[in-house]
Amino acid sequence: MRLKGIFSTSIAIATGLIVLAGYFLALPLLINLRVVILNWAVILAAFAVWIGVVNLFAVHAQKFRQKKAGRFYSLVLVVSMLVTLIIGLVTGPQSKLMTGVFNMVQLPIEASLMAVLAVSLTYASARLLRRVDMLSILFLGTAMLVLLGTAPLPFIGEIPLLSDLIRPFIAQVLAAAGARGILIGVALGILTTGLRILFGVDRPYGGK
């Protein structure tokens, strides 16, 4: 490991241990240190946004220069980014124009993507029928039961037994138990991943 690697790994491990100890041991010094370090992390994350925006700009400027597929969209992105940046710098982030850009461009586009997602998921459910295995059949059957039990049907309304007994049992007993099991597993995974970083085995910072 090069000197830079040793230095960055030592800082990362020491910082991680201080923050971890600050959570578990109620010593004022450790708690204060933890708060200060986490505040630094938030400031660094905010600065990283700026670097990320520069990276996004570079990717699309390069795509446009090299005349790659979809270069027109890259041009639109670069121009929109610059215009939005200028509006933000001139009028301020809370101005009517800036919130207008957000409410009239960003929100409708994200809502449209949500609508596309509904179609994608319906299509995916249909594709699931191609997989002939027990779990897929169970997955689809459960989804159908919960759907029918949740949404009242026209002219019929709620389906007796399904709406008041089967759906609540699936959602509140089976699904809740399964979800808790998965969440315990995820928590254990997060714990061991964090420990690998504290050991210096995984080093996503400062190279190897």
Partner 1 sequence: MWLGLGGFGIVFIAACIILAVAYVRRKSPPTFREISSFARLRRGVGRAVEDGRRLHVALGHGNLTTPQSGADFAGLSMLSRLAELTSASDQPPIATSGDAALSLLSQDTLQAAGQIASRGVYEATNSRLTGLSPFSYAAGALPVIRDENVSTNVLIGHFGLEAALLTDAADRENAFALAASDNLAAQAVMYASSQDPLIGEEVFAAGAYVDAGPFHAASLTAQDILRWIIIGLMVFGALLKLVGLL
List Cα–Cα distances, 131 to 34, 125, 128, 146, in angstroms: 49, 10, 5, 21
d(CA 66, CA 62): 6
Paired with 157 in beta bridges are: 153
Please answer whether residues 49 and 55 qualify as being in contact, where contact means their C-beta atoms are separated by less than 8 angstroms: no
Kindly write out the interface string for residues 183-202 of this chain, putting x where it contacts partner 1 by CB under 8 A and - elsewhere: xxxx-xxxxxxxxxxxx-xx
For position 55 contacting partner 1 by CB under 8 A, the verdict is: yes
Please answer whether residues 16 and 28 qualify as being in contact, where contact means their C-beta atoms are separated by less than 8 angstroms: no
Instruction: Name the residue nearer to partner 1 (CB basis): 34 or 158.
Output: 34
We find the least distance from the C-beta atom of residue 161 to partner 1, in angstroms, to be 25
We find the least distance from the C-beta atom of residue 69 to partner 1, in angstroms, to be 4
d(CA 162, CA 175): 16
We find the least distance from the C-beta atom of residue 160 to partner 1, in angstroms, to be 27
Retrieve residue 87's tokens.
Answer: 């509006």
Binding residue for partner 1 (CB under 8 A) from 11, 73, 82, 141? 73
Stretch that binds partner 1, among 66-74, 144-152, 154-162, 164-172 (CB under 8 A): 66-74
Q: What is the DSSP-derived secondary structure letter of residue 153?
A: B
Give the residues lining the site for partner 1 (CB under 8 A).
Answer: 20, 23-26, 38, 41-42, 44-45, 48-53, 55-56, 58-59, 62, 68-70, 73, 106, 109-110, 113-114, 116-117, 120-121, 123-125, 127-128, 139, 179, 181-186, 188-199, 201-202, 204-208
